[in-house]
Amino acid sequence: MTDAQRRTDDEPVSPAHVVNQVEGYLLWQARVAEAEERARAFTEPLEWLTTAQREEIEQHYVRDCLVRARGDLQRVADRCRALREEYEERYSRLRARCVAAVIAAVAVLAAAALLTLAVTQS
């Protein structure tokens, strides 16, 4: 599901979201340009190719590179989501333990204060 599919028309688009979209677009265009350049470099030594054959091979090479790049990016994005979930879970547990430790420390201090007060009044 893309960001456009998740967003409803009522939700405002944040500047950070726009920046991320533009950055992603520019990175993908750089990947396309790189694939095209590599395709030309691949077919350059093949002098015996006709122009049509050269173009067909370059198109196939670019298409293959971009399919692989998309797969790589998808795997990276999936791993990022998995790590985010894992870290959010760890943070939640750590926060709960910290809150429990603070409550326990306050209880011990309160008990010590009450004990001290009871001893001084006796």
pLDDT score recorded for residue 4: 52
pLDDT score recorded for residue 2: 53
pLDDT score recorded for residue 11: 76
Burial category of 39 from C-beta neighbours within 10 Å (exposed 0-12, middle 13-18, buried 19 and up):
buried
With tokens 């870290």, the residue in question is: 87
Please state the rounded mean pLDDT for residues 74-81. 96
Across the chain, what does the average pLDDT equal?
91
Global confidence as pTM:
0.63
pLDDT score recorded for residue 12: 82
